[in-house]
Amino acid sequence: MLGQQAPDFSLESTTGQPIGLKDLLGSFVVLIFYPANDTPTCNRQLDEVNENWDDFLQVNARVFGVNTARIEKQKEFCLRRRLQFPILSDPGGTVAKKYKAFLPLFPFNRRTVVAICPRGTILFYERGKPDPQKVLQAITKSTASPTSRS
């Protein structure tokens, strides 16, 4: 998916408003597809992003967790974990499927991190739990490239 136009989406957010990719263009967008709330690896991954929050703000990146849980569960999870970024509810993994981040044999997301440039092109795509600094480095590197700028 790297280098491709990011699939559009619109999902309910823990902010109470729908979030759509079209509304986010002009900023970098980071989507963290993860399997479930309250599991050790998922919690650690989201906490690491939270710890690097100021760095994401400095590069004009909008960060969102994405999983299949209902929005009510997502809101409670965000509050309890004190996440500084919203979680998007993707029931059935509709958006995760578009980003090839869904496990077809199981009803949950495959751990995948996607960063999208301000024009909507995927500039970072990695399965697993990449270090937030690796994602930030990809964003920073793309700002030096004239083809990635908005």
Catalogue the active-site residues: 42
Q: Please state, in angstroms and rounded to a whole number, the distance separating the CA atoms of residues 137 and 20.
A: 25
**3-class SS of residue 127:** strand
What b/e string do you get for 5-38 counting C-beta neighbours within 10 Å, with b at 16 or more?
ebbebebbbbeeeebebeebbeebbbbbbbbebe
Q: Please state, in angstroms and rounded to a whole number, the distance separating the CA atoms of residues 111 and 130.
A: 10
Q: Please state, in angstroms and rounded to a whole number, the distance separating the CA atoms of residues 127 and 113.
A: 6
| Neighbouring-strand partners of residue 112 | 33, 127
**Nearest-CA neighbor of 24 among 65, 66, 64, 62?**
62
